[in-house]
Amino acid sequence: MIEEKLRRQTRKFKERADYDQQQNAYYLLPFRFHRLDETRDILVNEVGDYLVVSTGTVEKIVSRQITKKSHYDLYADLLSGFFISEQPIPPLIDILATRYRTKKSFLDQFTSLHIFVISLRCEHTCHYCQVSRVTQDKAKYDMAERFIDQGIDLMMQSPNDQVTMEFQGGEALLAFDKIVYAIERTKRLALTYAKQVTYVICTNMAVITREIVDYCLVNTILLSTSLDGPAYVHNQNRKRPGKNSYELTLQGIELARSVLGHDRVSALMTTTSLSLNYPTEIVDEYAAQGFRSIFLRPISPYGFALRNERKNHYETAQFLDFYKKALDRILEYNRQGHFYSEDYATILLRKILTPFPVGYVDLSSPSGSITNAIVFNYDGAVYASDESRMLAEMNDFTFQLGHLDTHSYADIFYGPKTQQLTQAWTNESLPGCSECAFQSYCGADPIHNHATQGDLWGYRPTSTFCQKNMEIIRYLIDLMETDPTVKAIFESWIKPRP
Ligand code: SF4
């Protein structure tokens, strides 16, 4: 009888005020936090705005110990930064929603970068490269015109009005005739489909000629090359007969700049075990060659490169040490009045300091594979990304989305393989990332997870992707918070440049 009475009492609806424990207090909005160091935490809201506070502040916020009276400035920062609200639904919620939409608007246009692996032939034998084939067998290793046509047709179906057509190899210029064929056809179709096409050729410069550069000038083609550092690093990393890759690269850069203009030629470096010893020298080499930026890239942790364990395998901690030393050197140049930026930091800083979308493939959520980039291989296979192609070279075809001969646009871009990938391509829903303070600065990379940890979801505590990004983001924020000069330098890197 007593039990029945109690049951009836507890089933009765209470007044709203009984549930509302937040009367006369504030409401929490979604934010995440992370320890910057022993004394400071960082809070990051849903759209990437951050606040650095002393350790223990989060607990005070959550237990409603922060009041206007006790912490006037902090309270105001939390309120204006959408960390807390004085009403259950903040009056400016639409602004927050608009900012969230803006951050994700890189998705609006869908795939932009279309990579054509125009040839697998190469006259280099770089020890970290999975595609080196010193062969004259053009028919076997150059992209057939049929595949070029089919790839272009798919590119024309992209909802994106502005697409990039990038030619990669092997050494792409060994198949320059195929590049010309592809560009001439694309130019004609671009008029019909109202597409603006940016052309990029990735080349090691070894076989570049004046005629090639003239064609690039007429067709406003950008050139992207590889420069791993001074000769004693570059020539060790990038082997070729004659051992003169460095010399040929510099000659090619000079020729291309003299015709196309200084900023139409960019360079990328890859960090090998050897490079780890020369952070300062590599940064100095880029400066000496007139570059105003450098992209400090670790080696891709995909099958082939890791076959050469001694030359290509190192711990993420070693790369981070190298990265920080190189970044320090770059900051020295800036302090002396020279503009010199690091590209990975610049991408992250755009995400951290601006409200704008950043569509960098490796740091996107949803992942930039397919949504931003697609790869048409020389043999007609279509891959979700360049890394997917590297895996296929090791006989792992998990990310082959289809084939140009047999699959339609819908099969490739919305088919079962793509759907499988989408299960793990937002960091908002990945264990570990879903509660990470750096979620909006970082991205999801199911292909990296698969390659390094055996499944699409990965495991954050041992993920090298996570280890690298978490520490670089933490380091950049720490530098900005510790030294206002660094913050000013970083802000100069993210300003739009002509
Ligand atoms: S990968 Fe690591 S740093 Fe990036 S969002 Fe996930 S947990 Fe955070």
In a domain? residue 421? no
User: What is the per-residue pLDDT across 325-370, written as a single tens digit (0 to 9) for each?
Assistant: 999 999 999 999 999 999 999 999 999 999 999 989 999 999 999 9
pLDDT at 498: 59
The answer to whether residues 339 and 392 belong to one domain is yes
**Residue 490 host element (H or E):** helix 484-494
User: Is the CB of residue 66 less than 8 Å from the CB of residue 53?
Assistant: no
In a domain? residue 219? yes
In a domain? residue 474? no
Domain boundary pick from 384, 416, 448: 416
How crowded is the C-beta side of 102, counted as CA atoms within 13 Å? 13
Residue 430: Cβ within 10 Å count: 23
- Look at the chain and report how many structural domains it folds into: 2
Q: Please, what is the average pLDDT of the chain?
A: 92
Residue 12 has pLDDT above 90, yes or no: no
Residue 316, ligand 1, Cβ within 6 A = no
pLDDT at 252: 97
- Tell how strand 265-271 and strand 221-226 pair up: parallel
Residues in contact with 218: Cβ distance below 8 Å, sequence separation at least 6, in sequence order: none
Q: Which amino acid is at 132?
A: S
The answer to whether residues 181 and 53 belong to one domain is no
Residue 173, ligand 1, Cβ within 6 A = no
pLDDT at 125: 82
Residue 468, ligand 1, Cβ within 6 A = no
CATH of the domain at 245: 3.20.20.70
User: Is the CB of residue 193 less than 8 Å from the CB of residue 163?
Assistant: no
The answer to whether residues 216 and 365 belong to one domain is yes
Report the residue among 467, 468, 470, 473 best suited for mutation to probe ligand 1: largest number of ligand atoms under 8 A from its CB: 470
Report the residue among 36, 433, 459, 468 best suited for mutation to probe ligand 1: largest number of ligand atoms under 8 A from its CB: 433
| SS3 assignment for 15-56 | CHHHHCCCCCCCEECCEEEEECCCCEEEEEECCCCEEEEECC
Residues in contact with 66: Cβ distance below 8 Å, sequence separation at least 6, in sequence order: 26, 57, 60, 74, 75, 78
Residue 438, ligand 1, Cβ within 6 A = yes
pLDDT at 368: 94
The answer to whether residues 98 and 114 belong to one domain is no
Report the residue among 453, 457, 466 best suited for mutation to probe ligand 1: largest number of ligand atoms under 8 A from its CB: 466
User: What is the per-residue pLDDT across 179-233, written as a single tens digit (0 to 9) for each?
Assistant: 999 999 999 999 999 999 999 999 999 999 999 999 999 999 999 999 999 999 9
In a domain? residue 19? no
The answer to whether residues 47 and 180 belong to one domain is no
Ligand 1 atom at shortest distance from the alpha carbon of 432: 7
Ligand 1 atom at shortest distance from the alpha carbon of 436: 8
Report the residue among 36, 460, 473 best suited for mutation to probe ligand 1: largest number of ligand atoms under 8 A from its CB: 460
Across 442-460, average pLDDT:
95
The answer to whether residues 53 and 32 belong to one domain is yes
Q: Which amino acid is at 203?
A: T
Is the Cα torsion angle 296, 360, 129, 257 positive or negative in sign?
Answer: negative
Range(s) of the domain holding residue 37: 25-103
Distance from residue 135's CA to the centre of ligand 1 (Å): 42
User: What is the per-residue pLDDT across 136-186, written as a single tens digit (0 to 9) for each?
Assistant: 677 789 999 999 999 999 999 999 999 999 999 889 999 999 999 999 999
In a domain? residue 438? no
In a domain? residue 462? no
The protein residue with its alpha carbon nearest to ligand 1, atom 1, reads 466
- Tell how strand 373-376 and strand 113-117 pair up: parallel
The protein residue with its alpha carbon nearest to ligand 1, atom 2, reads 466
To which residue do tokens 């400090």 refer? Answer: 296
The answer to whether residues 94 and 118 belong to one domain is no
Of 81, 88, 85, which Cα lies nearest the Cα of 44?
Answer: 81
User: What is the per-residue pLDDT across 422-433, written as a single tens digit (0 to 9) for each?
Assistant: 999 999 999 999
Residue 248, ligand 1, Cβ within 6 A = no
The answer to whether residues 149 and 76 belong to one domain is no
C-alpha distances in Å from residue 312, one per residue of 168, 271, 322, 448: 22, 8, 14, 17
DSSP 212: H
3-state SS assignment for residue 163? strand
Of 138, 106, 111, 110, which Cα lies nearest the Cα of 122?
Answer: 138
The answer to whether residues 98 and 171 belong to one domain is no
Distance from residue 48's CA to the centre of ligand 1 (Å): 14
Residues in contact with 14: Cβ distance below 8 Å, sequence separation at least 6, in sequence order: none
Helices (H), 261-315: 279-288, 303-307, 309-312
The protein residue with its alpha carbon nearest to ligand 1, atom 7, reads 433
First to last CA, the chain: 82
Domain boundary pick from 43, 73, 103: 103
Ligand 1 atom at shortest distance from the alpha carbon of 442: 4
The answer to whether residues 85 and 63 belong to one domain is yes
The answer to whether residues 141 and 264 belong to one domain is yes
Distance from residue 149's CA to the centre of ligand 1 (Å): 39
pLDDT at 14: 64
Residue 28 has pLDDT above 70, yes or no: yes
The answer to whether residues 264 and 379 belong to one domain is yes
In a domain? residue 251? yes
Query: pLDDT: is 155 or 15 the higher one?
Result: 155
In a domain? residue 288? yes
CA distance 80 to 95: 12
Domain boundary pick from 416, 448, 482: 416
Residue 469, ligand 1, Cβ within 6 A = yes
